[in-house]
Amino acid sequence: MEKIKTLIIGSGPAGYTAAIYCGRASMKPVVYAGLQPGGQLTTTTIIENFPGFREGIDANQLMGEMRQQAENFGAEVRDGSIVEADLSSRPFHLKDERGNEIEAENVIIATGASAKYLGLADEEKYRGQGVSACATCDGFFYRKRVVAVVGGGDTACEEAMYLSSLAKKVYMIVRKPQLRAAEIMRKRVTEQENIEILYNTNTLGLFGENGVEGAHLVRFKGEPNEEKYDIAIDGFFLAIGHTPNTELFKGQIDLDDHGFIITQPKSTKTNIEGVYAAGDVADPTYRQGVVAAASGAMAAIEVERAQ
C-alpha cells in the first residue's frame, strides 16, 4: 500500500497547476495523467488566449511545459489512471489501472469534462481542422468566414452569438423544431442578421480536402418530406453540452444535476474534508484553460493551509 500525501487525479491546466503549487510547498504531489494527458485542451491546436504568449502557443507544447514545470518542483507525474476510489474514510483508498493500491491524505480531483460529440466519424477526422467544441477558444480563426453551430440550448445560442461577432455568417443546426434556450437567448439569435437557424435538421457528415469545407445535412429525417442538402462552411462547432468525468466518484461526492462536482462558495473544497475539485470537472460555466489553472492553484493553496 503506497502512502501519498497529495494525490492529483487529472493532468490538464488544473491538475498541472495544482502540482506546481503543491510541489513548491514540498507536499510531494503525485499526478495521475489519465487517459488524455494534458486534458481536453490538447484537442485544440494553437491557443491564443492563454496569458503570456503573444503569438499563441501549441496546446500540446503548453501542457508539456506545465508538466515539466511541475516535475521541476518535485511532482511525480504518472502516465496512468485511477480506476477505483473509496472516499468514505481518510486516508482515502484508491487503486490505479495496474492494480496498485494507494492511501492518500489529500485528493485533488481535476479529471475535467468531455465535450459531447454527435458520433460522426468526420468529427474525429476533422478535429483541429475545422471541428471544435469551444467557440471562445477557436472562434478567432474564423473571422469573416462561414461557420455552423450544432445545438439548440443556451450554450449553442451563446456560442452562435459570440461567433456572429467574428464570422461572416453563422448557421445554427437544430434537431428540433424550436430552440430550447431561455427566451432572451432565443430572441437574440433570431434577431441577429448573420445567424440562420436550420430547424428540424441533423448533420449526416462533413466534407473537405484540407479541413472542413461543408456539411451534409438532412431536414425532417425519416419523414415523408425528408430532404438532404449540403451547406458550405469553414468551421463546425459542437455545442450540445459537456459530460464531467465524475463517474468514479458518483455516490460518494456531491454532484449537481449534470454531474459536475459541487464545491463550497469561493473554494475548491467538496463536501468531503480532504477532497478538492479543480477545473472543468467542477465548472459548468467557463470551461477555459486559464480559469482551470487558477482553480488548480486555489486547490493546492487550500490543501497547504489545511495542513
Alpha carbons 256 and 49: distance in angstroms, whole number: 29
Strand-pairing partners, residue 215, are 206, 231
Is 134 annotated as catalytic?
yes
Catalytic residue among 22, 122, 137, 280: 137
Catalytic residue among 138, 234, 280, 283: 138
Buried b (16+ CB within 10 A) or exposed e, 203-239: beebebeeebebbbbbeeeeeeeeeeeebebbbbbbb
CA-to-CA separations, 307 to 19, 171, 233, 272, in angstroms, rounded: 16, 52, 54, 16
Is 22 annotated as catalytic?
no
**Residues in CB range of 237: below 8 A, 6 or more apart:** 132, 133, 134, 135, 138, 147, 148, 149, 150, 159, 163
How many CA atoms within 13 Å lie on the side-chain side of 75? Answer: 33
Alpha carbons 134 and 131: distance in angstroms, whole number: 9
Which triple of cell numbers denotes residue 266?
A: 469561493
Q: What DSSP state is assigned to residue 129?
A: T
Alpha carbons 248 and 226: distance in angstroms, whole number: 42
Q: How many CB atoms lie within 10 A of CB 95?
A: 14
Catalytic residue among 22, 122, 134, 283: 134
- The set of catalytic residues is 134, 137-138
